Structure 1
Amino acid sequence: MPQFWRAEASRSRAHGCSGLGLAIARAVVRAHHGTVRITSHTGSGTTVTVTLPALPPPR
C-alpha cells in the first residue's frame, strides 16, 4: 500500500502541521476492515473516499 506524502513543499512541519491526519484516519479505517482511497488532480482538488463494511442486521 502506498504511503501518504506531501506533494507541496509549503505544507511542511515548519508551518505547524505534523501531517498525521491521513495516516491516523487510515489506521482507524483499517482497524474497522475498511479502505481509504485518495485521488487528486492538479487544479481540481482532492477526493478522499472512506469505505467501511456494513454492520450485520440486528438480531
Structure 2
Amino acid sequence: MKETFKKRISSIEQGIMNIEVRYSVDLNLAKIVRAKRFHTSSFDISCSIFDIRF
C-alpha cells in the first residue's frame, strides 16, 4: 500500500515537473519569436527609410 502511494506521488511530481519544463520552454520560444518579430519589423522600417532616400 505504501509503495503504490509513493509511486503515485512520484508520478504526480514528475507530471508537475514536465508541466514546468514545458511552460518554461514555451516562454523561451515566445521570447525568441517576439525578438525575431521585433527584429524583422525594425529591419523593415530601416529598409523603407533606405528606399525613401534613394
Which bin holds the TM-score, normalised by the shorter protein? Answer: 0.3 to 0.5
* TM value normalised by structure 1: 0.30
Structure scoring higher RCO (CA < 8 A, sep ≥ 6) equals 1
Structure with max Cα Rg? 2
Larger fraction in helix: 2
Larger fraction in strand: 1
